[in-house]
Amino acid sequence: MRKFIVKSELIPLLKDGMTIMVGGFLANGSPEHLIDALLEAGVKDLTIIANDGGWEDRGVGRLIVAGRVKKLIASHIGTNPAAGRMMSAGTLDVDLVPQGTLVERIRAKGAGLGGILTPTGLGTIVQEGKTILTVANADYLLELPLGADLALLGGAIADCFGNLRYRGSMRNFNPIMALAADLVVAEVSEIIPELDPECVITPHPLVDFILEA
């Protein structure tokens, strides 16, 4: 499989109704050029899984503002007023998940686990409809794995093999999402001959395609 692609090669892979994970924290480490590709492809009715709703003009927020998102699974939408308005109007379904639970549900999917047990959310509305399990005299919520058709990673530098490391705090959800989707596409700012094997964060077999932007 050819790893390094241009944007036009990505567009045929994008479909209406896909579930797509997008890395980044308030758009820091979000793949803006891959989001451009989603906008250009015209796909709609997307389910987006991301830490947050981004900003109206940055990150996954642009997909929300453009009306391409049917459902958003995230921990926070406060920086994207459009997302709040659409949720109130009933045009955007928002599933708010505690941030640590969100990343661990994604990790569970990627790690082949059947779920995770967490104390986070006990005694709050987060526990509604969920199974509470008692282990060694402590209560936990059973939270289920979360996977996607496609993961779009950002904030990375690749080597010519497709190994990734991430710049600064852009790592966030990216390396976790790299394990949890059927197809993984990374946007990188730079391609260097070889990364130090001790510094690789996402090993190349996890990455299907790389877009240099």
Partner 1 sequence: MEDKYIIAKRIAMELSDGDLVNLGIGTPTLVADFIPADRHVILQSENGIVGIGPLSDVPTGSVNAGGNPATIVPGGSYIDSALSFSLIRGGHVDVTVLGALEVDQEGSLASWIIPGKKVPGMGGAMDLVVGAKKVIIATTHTNNGRPKILKKCALPLTAYRQVDLIVTELAVIAIEPDGLRLLEVHPDHTIAEVVSLTEAILKIDRVRPMKGVEA
Interface contacts to partner 1, rule CB under 8 A: 25-28, 51-52, 55, 74-79, 84, 87, 94, 96, 98-101, 103-104, 107, 118-126, 166-176, 201
- CB of 47 vs partner 1, minimal distance in Å: 17
22 token code pair: 């997008």
The span from the CA of 41 to the CA of 35, in Å, is: 10
Q: Which is nearer to partner 1, 121 or 162 (CB)?
A: 121
Q: Which is nearer to partner 1, 14 or 102 (CB)?
A: 102
- CB of 159 vs partner 1, minimal distance in Å: 19
- CB of 44 vs partner 1, minimal distance in Å: 24
The span from the CA of 77 to the CA of 84, in Å, is: 7
141 token code pair: 């919520």
Give residue 166's Cα distance to chain centre.
Answer: 15
Q: Which is nearer to partner 1, 13 or 122 (CB)?
A: 122
The span from the CA of 7 to the CA of 33, in Å, is: 8
Contact 51, 74 (CB under 8 A): yes
Radius of gyration of the chain (CA): 17
Q: Which is nearer to partner 1, 12 or 112 (CB)?
A: 112
Count, residues in the chain: 213
Alpha helices (runs of H) in the chain, residue ranges in sequence order = 7-10, 32-41, 61-65, 81-89, 99-110, 174-177
Q: Which is nearer to partner 1, 104 or 208 (CB)?
A: 104
- CB of 119 vs partner 1, minimal distance in Å: 5
- CB of 14 vs partner 1, minimal distance in Å: 25
